[in-house]
Structure 1
Amino acid sequence: MEGTIFSLIPALLMLILVIVTRRVLLSLGVGVVVGAFMLHNFNLLGSLNEIWLVFRNVFVTDEGANTGNLYLFGFLLLLGITTAFMTASGGSKAFGDWAIKKVKTRKGGQILPAILGVIIFIDDYFNSLAVGQVARPVTDRYKISRAKLAYIIDSTSAPITVISPVSSWGAYIIGTIGFILVENEITDYQPLEAFVKMIPLNMYAFAAIFLVFFVALFNLDFGPMKKHEQRAKDSGELYDVEKGNIPGDLKESFKENKNGRIYHLIVPIGTLIIGTILAMIGTGLANTEGQATVLLIFENTDVNLSLFLGGLSAVLIALVLYLVQLQPKANSAKVIWEGIKTMLPAIYILILAWMIGSIIDSLGTGRYLAHLVEQTSLNPALLPLLLFVVASFMALATGTSWGTFGIMLPIAGEIAAVTDVNLVLPALAAVLAGSVFGDHCSPISDTSILSSTGAGANHIDHVITQLPYAFIGAGASVFGYLILGFTGQVLLSLLVTLILVVLIGLIIKKLTTN
Structure 2
Amino acid sequence: MNFKIFIILFTMFFSDHLAQEISYPSILLSEVPNKISVKNIPNTIDTVNLIVKNGDWQQTFYSKVEGSEANISVFLPSSGKYSFMFFEGGYKTSIKTVMPGWLSIVPPLLAILLALLIRQVIVALFAGIYVGLLFIYEFNPLTALLRLIDTNLFNALIDPDHIYIILFTLLIGGVVGIISKNGGTIGLANQITKLAKTPRSGMIASWFMGIVIFFDDYANSLIIGNMMRPITDKLKVSREKLAYIVDSTAAPIASLVIISTWIGYELGLIGDGLSAINSDQNPYEVFIQTLPYRFYPIAALFFVFITSYWERDFGPMHKAEINARKLKLSEKEVNNQKANIAKSQLSLSKTRWYNGAIPILVILIGTVAGLIFTGINSLESAGIKNYGLDDIIRESDSYKSLLWASLIAGITAVLLTISQGIRKLEETIKAWHSGVQSMMIACIILVMAWGISSITNDLKTADYVISILSDSINPRFLPAIVFVVCGLISFATGTSWGTMAIVMPIVIPMASTITGIEGYSAVDSHIILVGVISSVLAGSVWGDHCSPIADTTILSSMASKCDHIAHVKTQLPYAIMVGLVTLTFGDIPTAFGLSPYISIVLILSVLTGLLFIVGKKVEV
TM above 0.5, yes or no, is: yes
Distance 1:333 1:256, change over 3 A: farther
**Partner of residue 415, structure 2:** 320
**Partner of residue 207, structure 2:** 111
**Partner of residue 118, structure 2:** 17
Measured in 2, the distance between the counterparts of 1:97 and 1:114 equals: 13
**Partner of residue 384, structure 1:** 476
Distance 1:412 1:339, change over 3 A: same
| Residue among 176, 192, 195 paired with 1:102 | 195
Do 1:127 and 1:157's aligned partners in 2 also have CA atoms closer than 8 Å?
yes
Letter of the 1:350 counterpart: C
Unmatched 5+ stretches in structure 1: 19-26, 121-125, 162-166, 184-191, 237-249, 444-448
Letter of the 2:111 counterpart: P
The reply to whether residue 69 of structure 1 matches residue 69 of structure 2 is no
Distance 1:284 1:323, change over 3 A: same
| Residue among 423, 426, 440 paired with 1:333 | 426
Compute the displacement of 1:14 (Å).
0.6
**Partner of residue 242, structure 1:** none
Measured in 1, the distance between the counterparts of 2:542 and 2:588 equals: 25
Q: Which has the larger helix fraction?
A: 1
Give matches, 1:284-303, under 5 Å. Answer: 284-288=375-379, 289-290=381-382, 291=384, 292-303=387-398
Do 2:180 and 2:186's aligned partners in 1 also have CA atoms closer than 8 Å?
no
Do 1:72 and 1:307's aligned partners in 2 also have CA atoms closer than 8 Å?
no
Q: What is the DSSP-based 3-state SS (H/G/I as helix, E as strand, rest coil) of the residue aligned with 1:102? A: coil
**Partner of residue 26, structure 2:** none
Distance 1:109 1:205, change over 3 A: closer
Q: TM-score, normalising length from structure 1?
A: 0.64
Letter of the 1:411 counterpart: T
**Partner of residue 347, structure 1:** 440
Measured in 2, the distance between the counterparts of 1:467 and 1:300 equals: 42
**Partner of residue 479, structure 1:** 584
Do 1:366 and 1:407's aligned partners in 2 also have CA atoms closer than 8 Å?
no
Q: Deviations over 1:175-221 (max 9, x none)?
A: x99xx9x99xxxxxxxx9xx98x987775565445334345445769
Do 1:276 and 1:310's aligned partners in 2 also have CA atoms closer than 8 Å?
yes
Give matches, 1:236-315, under 5 Å. Answer: 255-256=346-347, 258-288=349-379, 289-290=381-382, 291=384, 292-315=387-410
Compute the displacement of 1:100 (Å).
1.7
Bigger mean CA deviation after superposition, 371-380 or 406-415: 371-380
Do 1:159 and 1:205's aligned partners in 2 also have CA atoms closer than 8 Å?
yes
Bigger mean CA deviation after superposition, 481-490 or 397-406: 481-490
Letter of the 1:437 counterpart: A
Bigger mean CA deviation after superposition, 471-480 or 204-213: 204-213
**Partner of residue 411, structure 1:** 513
Distance 1:222 1:63, change over 3 A: same
Letter of the 2:104 counterpart: G
CA RMSD across the alignment: 5.7
Do 1:361 and 1:398's aligned partners in 2 also have CA atoms closer than 8 Å?
no
Measured in 1, the distance between the counterparts of 2:573 and 2:443 equals: 24
Measured in 2, the distance between the counterparts of 1:74 and 1:430 equals: 30
Distance 1:96 1:147, change over 3 A: same
Measured in 2, the distance between the counterparts of 1:251 and 1:57 equals: 45
Compute the displacement of 1:31 (Å).
0.3
The reply to whether residue 83 of structure 1 matches residue 168 of structure 2 is no
Measured in 2, the distance between the counterparts of 1:97 and 1:302 equals: 37
Do 1:204 and 1:473's aligned partners in 2 also have CA atoms closer than 8 Å?
yes
Q: Which has the larger strand fraction?
A: 2
Do 1:10 and 1:32's aligned partners in 2 also have CA atoms closer than 8 Å?
yes
**Partner of residue 431, structure 1:** 532
Distance 1:356 1:157, change over 3 A: closer
Bigger mean CA deviation after superposition, 433-442 or 365-374: 365-374
Do 2:185 and 2:353's aligned partners in 1 also have CA atoms closer than 8 Å?
yes
Compute the displacement of 1:293 (Å).
3.0
Do 1:388 and 1:433's aligned partners in 2 also have CA atoms closer than 8 Å?
no
Do 1:413 and 1:424's aligned partners in 2 also have CA atoms closer than 8 Å?
yes
Letter of the 1:8 counterpart: L
Do 2:542 and 2:579's aligned partners in 1 also have CA atoms closer than 8 Å?
no
Measured in 2, the distance between the counterparts of 1:489 and 1:283 equals: 34
Letter of the 1:388 counterpart: A
Distance 1:464 1:352, change over 3 A: farther
Give matches, 1:120-135, under 5 Å. Answer: none
Do 1:77 and 1:343's aligned partners in 2 also have CA atoms closer than 8 Å?
yes
**Partner of residue 13, structure 2:** none
**Partner of residue 245, structure 1:** none
Letter of the 2:402 counterpart: L
Letter of the 1:262 counterpart: W
The total of aligned residue pairs comes to: 449
Measured in 1, the distance between the counterparts of 2:617 and 2:254 equals: 29
Do 1:202 and 1:429's aligned partners in 2 also have CA atoms closer than 8 Å?
no
Unmatched 5+ stretches in structure 2: 1-101, 233-238, 259-263, 335-340, 490-497, 545-549
Q: TM-score, normalising length from structure 2?
A: 0.55
Distance 1:280 1:141, change over 3 A: farther
Distance 1:66 1:11, change over 3 A: same
Distance 1:216 1:298, change over 3 A: farther
Q: What is the DSSP-based 3-state SS (H/G/I as helix, E as strand, rest coil) of the residue aligned with 1:384? A: helix
Distance 1:284 1:31, change over 3 A: same
Q: For the pair shown, which has the larger CA radius of gyration, 1 or 2?
A: 2
**Partner of residue 35, structure 1:** 128
